[in-house]
Chains A and B, each alone.
Chain A
Amino acid sequence: DGGITQSPKYLFRKEGQNVTLSCEQNLNHDAMYWYRQDPGQGLRLIYYSQIVNDFQKGDIAEGYSVSREKKESFPLTVTSAQKNPTAFYLCASSRACGGADTQYFGPGTRLTVL
């Protein structure tokens, strides 16, 4: 079955540590995205990638980093520089470049900083 997967589902991190969230898709989509959701708020775009080896900052990229070495994978690293990392992180992918097409979302990763 085609789909988009994120792991782990729940992640705990000590303050000051970097942590990497995984996102994989087998939909053959070019574009991939990372969002974060905080309680009572909508989704905010962290980073997006239109094509392999290219990615662009979203609205709240500070304290995050990404890589896109393979079409199927778009891992997100939450660095110690991110001041408020506890949130729900959603990864998405879409067929068309620039996100003009429907975005398919993964199940999300809930990150908690202790």
Chain B
Amino acid sequence: RKEVEQDPGPFNVPEGATVAFNCTYSNSASQSFFWYRQDCRKEPKLLMSVYSSGNEDGRFTAQLNRASQYISLLIRDSKLSDSATYLCVVKGSDGNKLVFGAGTILRVKS
């Protein structure tokens, strides 16, 4: 079983739609969780951290469910510029190693 699993998609949605991605992780000792965004031929960039209490940044909401070991990302009012690959990332209990999921492709179309 992979340490971090994501549905690869692609998710094809119209502009203005709300879309949600889920990610599961296998290491229950994981301490920190993140969502990264990756555009074509570029390195992944941090989108937001994920906290147990849930956190929101504009149109983006991230949530963590430790009991079920999954993380979610909700994007409201999708824009064309949201089209990218979204990577779920987990940091282990040793505090150093980041484990990346394979990514979920989002395509927003007009």
**Interface, chain A (partner B; CB < 8 A):** 30, 50-51, 54, 56-57, 96-100
B105 within 8 A of A: yes
Give the Cβ gap from A114 to chain B, nearest Cβ, in Å.
34
* Measured CA separation A110–B102 after assembly (Å): 32
Contact across chains for A100 and B8 when beta carbons are under 8 A apart? no
Whether A100 lies near B107 (C-beta < 8 A) is: yes
Contact B40 A57 (CB under 8 A): no
The size bracket of the interface on B is 10 to 19
Among B66-110, those with CB < 8 Å from A are: 83, 85, 102, 105, 107
Closest CB in chain B relative to A98 CB, distance in Å: 5
- Inter-subunit contact A51/B40 (CB<8 Å): yes
B10 interface contact, C-beta 8 A? yes
Most chain B CB within 10 A, of A54, A97, A99, is at: A97
User: Which residues on B sit within 8 Å (CB–CB) of A98?
Assistant: 10, 40, 83, 85, 105, 107
- Nearest-neighbour CB distance to chain A for B78, whole angstroms, equals 14
Shortest C-beta distance, B38 to chain A (Å), equals 9
Q: Which residue on chain B has the smallest CB distance to residue A95?
A: B40
Q: What are the residues of chain A within 8 A of B1 when measuring CB–CB?
A: none
Closest to A98 in B: B105
Q: Give Cα A54–Cα B102 distance, bound, in whole angstroms.
A: 9
B8 touches A97 (CB 8 A): no
In the complex, 27 of the A-B residue pairs with CB atoms within 8 angstroms, ordered by the A residue number, are A30-B40, A30-B41, A50-B40, A50-B85, A50-B105, A51-B40, A51-B41, A54-B102, A56-B8, A56-B102, A56-B105, A57-B8, A96-B40, A97-B39, A97-B40, A97-B41, A97-B85, A97-B105, A98-B10, A98-B40, A98-B83, A98-B85, A98-B105, A98-B107, A99-B10, A100-B83, A100-B107
CB distance from B36 to the nearest CB of A (A): 15
Please report the C-alpha to C-alpha distance between residue A99 and residue B41 in the assembled complex, in whole angstroms. 14
| Distance between Cα atoms of A62 and B39 in the complex (Å) | 28
